[in-house]
Structure 1
Amino acid sequence: MRGIALFGRVRLLDTTLRDGEQTPGVSLTLEEKVSIARQLDALGLDVIEAGSAVTSEGERRAMKAVAEEGLRAEVCSYVRARTGDVDLALNCDVDSIHLVVPVSDLHIRCKLRSDREGVMRAAVEVTEYAKGHGLIVELSGEDASRADEGYLTALYRAGIDAGADRLCYCDTVGVLVAEKAFEVFSRLSKLPVPVSVHCHDDFGLATANTVAALRGGASMAHVTVNGIGERGGNTSLEEVVMTLESLYGIKTEIQCQELYSLSRLVSRLTGIPVAPNKAIVGENAFTHEAGIHVHGLLADTSTYEPIHPEAVGRKRRIVLGKHAGRSSVELALRELGIESTEGELAEILSRVKELGDKGKRVTDADLQTIAEIVLSIQKEPKVKLNEFTIVSGNHAIPTASVRIIVNGSEILEAGTGVGPVDAAINAIRRAISGVRDVRLEEYHVDAVTGGTNALVEVWVTMAMGDRTITARGAGADIIMASVEAVLEGINRLMQLEEDG
């Protein structure tokens, strides 16, 4: 079989900054685009599609800033089949253009109100114009998976004659299937220039279709970090890379251990959370609870982990609950560096299951607290409260001031909020912001007893980096109970980080 890219060099074009940014509600600043581009380059991407020069003046400034970073990767601009778009791209100092022309009759007729001959003429004209101005040209067929293949091939050949350096087949609405992808690229790979694959995930098939296309002969895949993009998104960078590396044994030259940190950066800057069950980079990708699974991990981690979490910059996490078994707790304690006797282990397991039966998720940080109680291990807190005051009323903005000790240094800080509890928590977060970035993800209050002096129990979910813990505070004063819960969570997260 001719030209199967999986046995050669697979190249990757990342379009997080263009197709990914087209996700509804996402708009990246110049600084954010540059920050992502730097990490993409450090990761080892071959081409970075920095944006679409026609979008706006701000977009062009951001693209020019990316181009001026001196990246190893080729910097690319999306353009339509208009010479004016090429001129705008040239002003951004990019290396190449991604020239996208509709090729399905549906798109040609309904979107362009044109015909096949007109589209082909425009594609040839703009390709020649861009080549005449020193640009690398990747000629892309939009909605290729619903196009007449004879016409598509004719357009590609005309583009090659006009000087196109690469071709691209776009599954614009995600209707391709892997069997067809393999067949199509087995034919297209016979063309005299490299062919790329650009898939969307409307049916959840983007990664499968991309890998099938590479098996068929595609030499480059278009991807986005976390698979972000319009509608169902684009092909996921991390899924394609790890599928090639782990399942096909193909070295991509990507620095895989940086995949998770890049995922977190893009999630934070775009405001798009990663689904917990997302492959490779989701919170649960290397998280285990069921006792039978953890028993297998004790014998050999590959029993329930197809790749080592460290390979993508992750850590294994044991989350305990009602499904936990003795092996789960034993492994989790081992991960935390805690030794226990058989009796102590039984007591820790009993307390874990008690919390699990109440519907609570017991993370490694929660387990450490339980173990410390059972084993009477108490560590000096990193953050201690000296005092705090609250000002609130009908016409006053709730304001809190706190005086806390962080690693031995006293910090005085104030914060406001929608209520006194919110103000107190905001003041604490501001006080430690220069030391750690801690997030409050959930807040829940239960009244333990009745009456106006009811004992309340406050549960918070705190997060720092890749770690999430639950913490508890209790008392008749809901503000004080909330402060205690937040401080407990912060201390446990910081202690976990210190313990490695």
Structure 2
Amino acid sequence: MRFFDTTLRDGEQTPGVSLTPAEKLEIASHLSDIGVDVIEAGSAAASVGEREAIRLISDAGLAAECCTYVRALAQDIDLAADYGADSVHLVVPVSDLHIEKKLRKTREQVCEMAWNTVEYAKSRGLIVELSGEDASRADQQFLRELFREGIERGADRLCFCDTVGLLTPERAAGVIPPLCMAPLSIHCHDDLGFALATTVAALRAGATCAHTTVNGLGERAGNTAFEELVMSLEVLYGRRTGIETGKLYQLSTVVSRLTGVPLATNKPIVGEMAFTHESGIHAHGIMRDATTYESIKPEDVGRKRRIVLGKHSGSAAVETALHEMGYHPDPHQLAEIVGRIKQLGDAGKRITDADMMTIADAVFEIEYTPAIELRQFTIVSGSNAMPTASVTLLVQGEEITGAATGNGPVDAAIRALQRSVAAVGTVRLEQYHVDAIVGGTDALVDVTVKLSKDGKTVTSRGARTDIITASVEAVIAGMNRLLREEHENRSEDTD
């Protein structure tokens, strides 16, 4: 089977998403590298920027085919050919609703437009995928006739578009086989949550290509999610997709970052919680045999398993986490630590690594001297000023002042902190999360960060009424834990 990715066209039609040509090229490179067959780079007729993106992608020497969306218009075909596209996704309305209400034409007129455009595209040396828009609500006999003549005129491939997500898996099993007169694609939208199931059903019924978007991006409720379809086929149907699944998470995070559309925490495969466990029963089972509560290995999609602590955590999970941090409690100490963690969880707090270490230090009666102390920080930001931050820290007894600019005041503050501690270690910000804020203008902001240094990671939290102060507090807490003596003895006999 084949994968036709439309993240850069249908996915970019997600409200609020706009990608530069360079960003489209970056995503296209990842798509080609992971094994996608066709990349729909955009619509050449849409704008100068779209045409530049198509040119960049077509000139990049990628293994994937470069495609562009076109209407049944000669000028669209010319733009596609002139800017280096390998193929065109020729979309024509096929339901009477679209033909009459949107185009205000007849079936006969639509057919002639489609067939003539196929012939013209072939004369320009393009591969043609003839696509029926709103095919789910079309007269299926009319659709077959349009497709049949389209193939006679030179169309290389066909596509059934479930434009508003009305096709069911059961119906797909009936309507797809008669349309397989040439390689057939299935293009589903997720308006009613059926996109993935219907895409799988269409593939089982004879379709040979799936149209997808990374993270399920797209208009309204989005399109069939690439990563979910790949793993569903691999795991549930034993179908080798040819996709390098170990790169799925990296691709997902790149697309999320560049589009500005965050991943839902509970999203399958790539969401933050997909391989995260808190429940005592689940965590205990996972530690004994991961298959007890995981259908796939996190490593198979480029992820890592995570055990988080909270009010549902049991002694086994807490003890494992403590051992990883270098603590070796006796049964009494372990029970005390578990009790304190559950108290924080009952108070609605997420338990970070820094919280855990603070609790453990208190129970072990370890005197902990922070490596970093904040003396002061200043932020300058405004409509006519680049956000700039300066911080003064006491780093292992030495006063250091650093400054940095950023995309916003929080970004500037974190960059300034990173520069200030560069002499003692390179600390990277891996994740930044702000909990939902409710209440008035003085509501508490809860910031959680994930930091890393030399392969070691730690999470920490800051809670203040000011988001910048909360962020600085969280980062300093995490840095202190990362810069702590790596071989510090934290066993029960610590002095």
- Shift of residue 298 of structure 1? 2.5
What per-residue deviation string (whole Å, max 9, x for no partner) do you get for residues 432-491 of structure 1? 79852456533899xxxxxxxxxxx985312459988342489xx999887444301344
Alignment of 1:47-126 (within 5 A): 47-126=38-117
1:320 is matched with which residue?
309
Correspondence 1:83-482 to 2 at 5 A: 83-189=74-180, 191=181, 193-333=182-322, 339-364=328-353, 366-375=355-364, 384-385=372-373, 387-388=375-376, 390=378, 401-404=390-393, 412-413=402-403, 427-428=416-417, 436-437=428-429, 440-442=432-434, 460-463=447-450, 469-472=459-462
- Quote the offset at 1:63 in angstroms: 1.1
Gap change, CA 1:492 and 1:154, over 3 Å in 2: farther
Contact 1:186–1:216 at 8 Å: present in 2 too? yes
Helix, strand or coil at the partner of 2:176: helix
Aligned partners of 2:225, 2:127: CA distance in 1, in Å?
25
Letter in 1 for 2:226: L
| Whole-angstrom distance in 1 between the partners of 2:395 and 2:206 | 57
The secondary structure found in structure 2 opposite 1:123 is helix
1:34: how far off? Answer: 0.7
> In structure 2, what is the Cα distance between the partners aligned to 1:268 and 1:327?
36
Give the aligned partner of residue 5 of structure 1: none
CA separation of 1:161/1:378 partners in 2, compared to 1, >3 Å: closer, same or farther? Answer: farther
Alpha-carbon distance change, 279 to 378 in structure 1, aligned in 2, over 3 angstroms? farther
Question: How far did 1:342 drift?
Answer: 2.4
* Corresponding residue pairs, total: 470
Shift in CA distance, 422/278, structure 1 to aligned 2, threshold 3 Å: closer
Question: What SS does the corresponding residue of 2:449 show, helix, strand or coil?
Answer: strand
Q: Structure 1 285/124 Cα, relative in aligned 2: closer, same or farther at 3 Å?
A: same
Query: Is the alpha carbon distance of 1:11 and 1:481 closer, same or farther for their aligned partners in structure 2, counting shifts above 3 Å?
Result: closer
Q: Within 1, Cα distance between the matches of 2:261 and 2:471?
A: 28
For 2:217 and 2:232, the matched residues in 1 are separated by 18
Who is 1:7 aligned against? none
Aligned partner of 2:125: which letter?
G
The change in CA–CA distance for 1:165 and 1:334 in structure 2 (over 3 A counts) is: farther
TM-score for the superposition, normalised by structure 2 = 0.85
Q: CA RMSD in A?
A: 3.7
Change (3 A) 1:367 1:389: closer
With over 3 angstroms needed to count, the CA separation of the structure-2 counterparts of 1:320 and 1:142, relative to structure 1, is same
SS at match of 2:227: helix
CA contact (8 A) 1:415 1:430 kept: no
Deviation of residue 424 (structure 1)?
A: 5.6
Identity, % of aligned positions: 55
Query: Aligned equivalents of 2:253 and 2:457: distance in 1?
Result: 12
CA positional deviation for 1:66:
0.8
Tell me the alpha carbon deviations over residues 37-63 of structure 1, each in whole angstroms, 9 at most, x when there is no partner: 111111110111111100001110011
Change (3 A) 1:99 1:443: closer
Listed one character per residue, the Cα deviations across residues 334-391 of structure 1 (whole Å, up to 9, x for unaligned) are 665754432332222112111111111114554345445545678997x734743548
Q: Which region of structure 1 is more displaced relative to structure 2, 287-296 or 356-365?
A: 356-365
Task: Map 1:35-54 onto structure 2 (within 5 A).
Answer: 35-54=26-45
Deviation at 1:411, TM superposition (A): 6.0
Deviation of 1:300 (Å): 1.2
Tell me the CA shift for residue 313 of structure 1. Answer: 0.9
Corresponding letter in the other structure for 1:146: R
CA 1:14–1:459 in 2, change beyond 3 Å: closer, same or farther?
closer
Task: Report the Cα distance in structure 2 between the residues aligned to 1:403 and 1:346, rounded to whole angstroms.
Answer: 40
Task: Return 102-111 or 334-343, whichever deviates more.
Answer: 334-343
Preserved CA contact (<8 Å) 2:458 2:481: no
> Separation in 1 of the partners of 2:267 and 2:315?
28
TM-score by length of 1: 0.84
Letter of the structure 2 residue corresponding to residue 141 of structure 1: G
Q: Is the 8 A contact 2:458 2:478 kept in 1?
A: no
What secondary structure is seen at the aligned counterpart in 2 of 1:110? helix
- 2:13 maps to 22
In structure 2, C-alpha distance between the alignment counterparts of 1:322 and 1:308, rounded to whole Å: 26
- Aligned AA for 2:240? K
Question: Do the aligned partners of 1:171 and 1:198 also contact (CA within 8 Å) in 2?
Answer: yes
Letter in 2 for 1:402: V
2:275–2:306 CA contact under 8 A, matched in 1: yes
Secondary structure of the corresponding residue to residue 356 of structure 2: helix
C-alpha spacing 1:351/1:386, structure 2 compared with 1 (3 Å): closer
- Tell me, in whole angstroms, the C-alpha distance in 2 between the residues paired with 1:458 and 1:490: 20
* CA deviation profile, 1:285-333 (whole Å, cap 9, x unmatched): 1111111211221221111110011111111111221111223323444
Change in Cα spacing, 1:86 to 1:412, as seen in structure 2 (3 Å) is same
In the alignment, is the contact (CA less than 8 A) between 2:390 and 2:401 conserved in 1? no
Q: CA deviation at 1:237?
A: 0.3
